[in-house]
Amino acid sequence: MILPQHLAQCTRNLRFTGISQQVKARAKTRTHIDELPAEQANQSASDTQRLLKYSSRTKEVAETQDMERNDIIDFKALEKELQAALTADEKYQRENAAKLRAVEQRVASYEEFRGIVLASHLKPLEQKDKIGGRRTVPWNCHTTPGRTSQDETTEISQEKTLLQPETSAEFYRDWRRYLRSGPERYQALLRLGGPKLGHLFQTDVGFGLLGELLVALADHVRPADRLVVLGILRSLANTRRFALNLSLMSYAERESCRNLFRKLQAMGTPRPMQEGLSQEEQGLERQPGGLQEEERLLQELVGLYQVD
């Protein structure tokens, strides 16, 4: 019969033996685990390094490709962009300079200021651009190719003959553009006459123009035109700021003015009836008081023009 003490001791021994066997099995298993995974760990570490190197190399290749793709320069687009920038900068500089000029000129209105700015791209004609020499391309595409220089000369002369300015600005333009020679200017003044010139210059004759008118009259006055010339001189003397324009004449223009009145005074002496006079002038010649009226008007003009 087994005593309870012996049974308890056996139980403890069995438990101890089982625990020892479990400990040994675990130790053996740990040893096996520690040995085998070490090789696998080394292999895994090597594979990981290869993967990292491959990934790094792939990333570098991708970055290199991106850089090469970004480094490709489109020279046409770059040139177009540069040209647009230069054009915009040139336009800004040109318009800014035009604005400064308009401010310095003290323009009267915004429309005039805007017109100066909008016309800033226009350039004045240079010496090589002026009319001269033979042109291969006609300026007017609607002209017929069979036109000769004689036809053009006739047209220009007719244009000069038909000058009928309605304002002082139109007269000044035609005077400068079409009437270049002294005889042409003199004939134009005779055609317009005193009343028409007085109407054109009722506000002001214009700086420098009075002297040019007197020079043209002085150089080409004729006895037959004496009465018409006196009418022109009287109309000019009745314009506004006449005294100021008279004082601004040059020395040569004042000498021409004196010479004109000397000729007019010399033409007032008794003379035989001349051929080619109009009926009105012949009537004035026959009238007893015709010469007296001319002389009275001439003396009045001598005082107005301050002729010594």
Region of poorest pLDDT, from 160-169, 181-190, 289-298: 160-169
With a pLDDT cut of 90, the percent of the chain lying above it is 17
pLDDT at 21: 61
With a pLDDT cut of 70, the percent of the chain lying above it is 57
Q: Are 236 and 213 within 8 A, CB to CB? A: yes
- pLDDT tens per residue across span 21-61: 655 555 554 454 445 455 555 565 566 677 666 666 776 76
Q: At 105, which helix (H) or strand (E)?
A: helix 75-105
Instruction: Provide the token pair at 209.
Output: 């123009």
Q: Is the pLDDT of residue 268 over 50?
A: yes
Q: Is the pLDDT of residue 288 over 50?
A: no
Q: Is the pLDDT of residue 121 over 50?
A: yes
Stretch 176-182: mean pLDDT: 86
Cα 38 to Cα 30, 31, 51, 84, distances in angstroms:
12, 11, 19, 70
Q: Is the pLDDT of residue 166 over 70?
A: yes
**Residues in contact with 168: Cβ distance below 8 Å, sequence separation at least 6, in sequence order:** 200, 201, 203, 204, 205, 206
pLDDT at 308: 73
Task: Say how far apart CA 174 and CA 163 lie, in whole Å.
Answer: 8
Q: pTM here?
A: 0.45
Cα 197 to Cα 38, 168, 231, distances in angstroms:
122, 9, 10
Stretch 194-206: mean pLDDT: 86
Stretch 49-76: mean pLDDT: 68
pLDDT at 22: 56
pLDDT at 101: 84
User: Rounded to a whole number, what is the distance in angstroms from the first to the last CA of the chain?
Assistant: 181
CA angle 159, 231, 204 (to 5 degrees): 70
What amino acid occupies position 195? P
- pLDDT tens per residue across span 99-108: 888 888 787 7
Q: Is the pLDDT of residue 79 over 50?
A: yes
Cα–Cα nearest to 277, from 222, 230, 224, 232: 224
Stretch 169-191: mean pLDDT: 89
pLDDT at 152: 46
Stretch 172-199: mean pLDDT: 89
Average pLDDT, the chain: 73
Instruction: Provide the token pair at 221.
Output: 């006055």
**Residues in contact with 255: Cβ distance below 8 Å, sequence separation at least 6, in sequence order:** none
Instruction: Provide the token pair at 190.
Output: 């005779």
Q: Is the pLDDT of residue 286 over 50?
A: no
Cα–Cα nearest to 168, from 235, 112, 114, 105: 235
Q: Are 189 and 232 within 8 A, CB to CB? A: yes
